[in-house]
Amino acid sequence: MIRAMIFDLDGTLVQTERLKALSYARAAVELCPHTLSEAEVAEAFKDVVGLARRDVAQALVERFDLEAKARSRMAEFGVSAPWQAFVQVRLRYYERMMADPDVLRANQWPHNVVLLREARRSGCNTALATMSRCQQAWYVLEVLDLTEAFDFVATRDDVEHGKPAPEIYQLVARELAIPPSESLVIEDSPSGVKAALAAGMWCIAVTTPLTRRGIHALRLLDERWIADDPTTLTAVVRQMVAERKRD
């Protein structure tokens, strides 16, 4: 039986992963304007989506030979490594987009938000488990009018180890006082799926263009529990809930 539905934020309720990809792409082009296109950097981001910021930045610096250009910007930002300078260039773009409520509202995933609201209306316990920092997460929820949509919100600030470690989902289970085996996670990224399954929870992946390839390559979920078309998500969830009731 499913008694709790737990949602990821970035990439699941709002397309912040798309905005992150765009910010990395624009930063890379700023460093190497004559040799790179935004499209090729955004495509490469698919291989690192969901990883820690350092790992993403370092991978892109190496892949697109950005070290020399990034190193030349280190003193400007007062940082000690080229990947950190790359991150600082990228954050200027990202923070500008995130500060615009219209951009956030235009990039929410409507079918996933509808599922959240339906779960709430049905009396199911709902929670958020995000690798965003607390302040940023609550800002996004406020813009999307979702501050009252959850019984519990867990952010990166609440755990020692981020996804794919299961800690954040274990925390949610304890706070809701609902066993992991009675909880369903809605995720979009490979690291999120790994975290949910490692916590002993059921999981449905609703993929995005950035995460689709990685989710299928992971092969941790039955294909029935992967929604590549967000319009099918509610039907997939109902099928899983029905199966759990029979169990």
Mean pLDDT by runs of 10 across the 247 residues of the chain is: 96 91 96 91 87 91 96 97 98 95 95 96 96 94 96 97 96 98 96 96 94 92 96 96 88
**What's the pLDDT tens digit per position in 74-105?**
999 999 999 999 999 999 999 999 999 999 99
Which uninterrupted H or E stretch holds 187? strand 183-187
Which uninterrupted H or E stretch holds 33? none
What are the C-alpha distances in Å from 169 to residues 7, 61, 81, 207? 10, 32, 33, 19
**Residue 52: predicted pLDDT:** 78
The number of beta carbons lying within 10 Å of the beta carbon of residue 90 is: 24
CB 184 within 8 A of CB 192: no
**Residue 51: predicted pLDDT:** 77
Instruction: Give the C-alpha separation, 187 to 50, whole Å.
Output: 11
Instruction: Name the phi and psi angles at 6, rounded to 5.
Output: -115, 130
The angle subtended at Cα 116 by Cα 199 and Cα 214, nearest 5°, is 50
What does the chain come to in residues? Answer: 247
Using alpha carbons, select from 44, 4, 3, 2 the residue that is nearest to residue 20: 44
4-15+107-246 sits in which CATH class? alpha beta
**What's the pLDDT tens digit per position in 104-140?**
999 999 999 999 999 999 999 999 999 999 999 999 9
Instruction: Please state the pTM of the whole predicted model.
Output: 0.87
